[in-house]
Amino acid sequence: MKNTIKITKMQGCGNDFVIVDYAEFEKTGMEMPEFAKKICNRNFGVGADGLIIPKTDTKDTDIGWYFYNSDGSTAQMCGNGMRCFAKYVYEKGLVDKKQFSVQTLAGTIKPEVLDNGLVQVDMGIPVLEDEKIPFKGERKLQALDRTFDITPISMGNPHCVIFTDENPMDLALKYGPVIEKHPYFPEKTNTEFVKVISKNEIEMRVFERGCGITLACGTGACASQVACILNNLTESKVKVNLLGGSVFVEWQGSKENPKENIFLTGPADYSFVADYIL
């Protein structure tokens, strides 16, 4: 019989992830990027937007993670993935408190498992400086037959936010793949198409860097809310309607005072636990 490893499948608003403990991953004998591409494949693997492996040997935080997109690339942060990760490591006993610190490539992130089953994540301070996003261009971007007004932001990973009165999914499907690799974004970008419903509610569709169209993007929801406030479109707390569900994002910052932490609150649910045949 072939070797097997224990895996857990989770999702946050339909943004789905395979979580594998490090000891189980070691049994594969594979490099992490290779394993991510294999297990995230929806035809020949489990199928997921990303792979998460807890990292328990961190020094300055309670825990850390390895995070890979479905194409094997790394991502500095993932809001939906962080909520799933937080619930997983808390309920498995890898951390012994509901609020804790996580080492990521975007710095230290602090999630909290709430009593109502939701998870709130302190996503840190959004990055608006072009060189740190990184972004090298103008606030107008040409893609195929259109010129878009854009708001570039980093939530540990680069985002290009575009406001529209059109169907945001149609735009994400057509222009997302082009903008992802636009020369304005030297490390590629996630692209959010946002329709403002009211001062307290928005609709967002996303083309994620390294994943394509996904049902949800936590960092994208945060970037969208920051862009809304910078453009005087919403209040400090909004409901963000995603393809796979809704999250709440709160930012007390402003164009004049951007150094405020942003908070993302939403669901994190188990799909299944299984033995995966190598």
> pLDDT digit string (tens) for 70-117?
999 998 899 999 999 999 999 999 999 999 999 999 999 999 999 999
Tokens of 210: 């390294």
State residue 78's pLDDT score. 93
Q: Which band of pLDDT confidence, cut at 50, 70 and 90, is reported for residue 2? A: confident
Provide mean pLDDT across the span 48-57: 96
Active site residue 211: no
For 96, residues 6+ apart whose C-beta sits below 8 A from its C-beta are: none
Would strands 15-19 and 50-55 be described as parallel, antiparallel, or unpaired?
parallel
Cβ contact 221:230 at 8 Å: no
**45-213-218-162 Cα dihedral, nearest 10 degrees:** 160
Task: Judge: domain 130-260, CATH 3.40.50.150.
Answer: no
**Confidence band (pLDDT; 50, 70, 90) for 52?**
very high
Q: How far is CA 140 from CA 12, 61, 146, 152, 230, in A?
A: 32, 40, 10, 10, 16
Q: What is the pLDDT of residue 65?
A: 98
Contact 225, 248 (CB under 8 A): no
Q: Of 252, 264, 265, 262, nearest to 115 (Cα)?
A: 265
- Res 90: pLDDT: 98
pLDDT top residue among 3 and 8: 8
Rounded to the nearest 10 degrees, the angle between the axes of helix 218-230 and helix 79-91 is 130
Which CATH architecture does the domain made up of 4-112+268-277 adopt? Roll (3.10)
Tokens of 100: 């804790």
Question: Positive or negative, the Cα torsion across 36, 41, 45, 46?
Answer: positive
Percent of the chain with pLDDT over 90: 97
Catalytic residue among 13, 40, 78, 222, which?
78
* Strand 151-154 to 158-163 pairing: antiparallel
Taking residue 228's Cβ as centre, other Cβ atoms within 10 Å add up to 24
Same fold across 4-112+268-277 and 130-260:
yes
26 Cβ contact partners less than 8 Å away, ≥ 6 residues apart: none
Q: Residue 210 — pLDDT band, cuts 50, 70, 90? A: confident
Q: Where are the domains of the chain?
A: 4-112+268-277, 130-260
The pLDDT-based confidence of 1 (bands split at 50, 70, 90) is low
pLDDT tens for each residue of 225-257: 999 999 999 999 999 999 999 999 999 999 999
| Catalytic status, residue 222 | no
Provide mean pLDDT across the span 142-154.
97
Catalytic residue among 13, 84, 211, 217: 217
Q: 243 vs 199, 202, 206, CA distance in Å?
A: 20, 12, 9
